[in-house]
Structures are given as C-alpha cells and as structure tokens.
Amino acid sequence: MNAMGNIKVLTKTGINMKVFWASIEYKYNGNPMKGGFVYVFVKANSETDAYERITSEFQNLKLSISVIEFLTQYDKSTKWNSVSETKHYMDIYNSASISNSCVFDTFYAYEHE
C-alpha cells in the first residue's frame, strides 16, 4: 500500500483564499447611456485574481465596468450604520466565502446620467 494514498493535495486555488469586495459603477452594453452601481464580493487568491473574476462575471452579465471605486479584502470587523446592515454584508461575505462565483448586493440603477 502506498503511504501517500491518504494525503490530500491542496491545489493553488484552494490555498489562502480571501473574500474581496468592490464597489463597481457599470453600464449596460446595449445602452451605454444607462447604468448604475453595485457592491460585489468574491473569494479569490489575490486582488488581481478578484479583479479577473469580477470582470469576467460582468462580461457574462453583458455589463461593462465604467469605474471600480475600490477593490480590497473585506474586513469582517467593519461596522455599518446599523446592526441589520452589518449583518446584511456579513451574510454576503459568508455566501462569497463558500462560493466559486461572485456574490452581488442589490444592483442600483441611475435614474439620470
């Protein structure tokens, strides 16, 4: 029997993954005069990996990114304006931490450009 048979090998994609979040302003590909903004959370190996995952997801949604206001690792100790708001973002964080996809908050559309 091979002594290596019971060892689990971790791949690069599973080591030290963190949850990043970003504030994104977007445009609709079919109508570049209309758009909005959204917070997005994603599990990734690095900020660069998070950026690549987010941009790919926006392409799949047929949206173009006009501005990335920030992209950083989410700080779980962040306090929002209320307990319910803090819980809301921790829920999104927790969903992203167990997902291989981007997890979006509410998409807000601009009324006027």
Segment 33-78, tens digit of pLDDT: 789 999 999 999 999 999 999 999 999 999 999 999 999 999 988 8
What is the reported pLDDT for 7? 41
**Could you tell me which residues are beta bridge partners of residue 72?**
21
Domain boundaries of the chain, sorted by first residue: 15-109
**pTM (2 d.p.):** 0.82
Question: Amino acid letter at 43?
Answer: K
Q: How is residue 101 written in tokens?
A: 């996809």
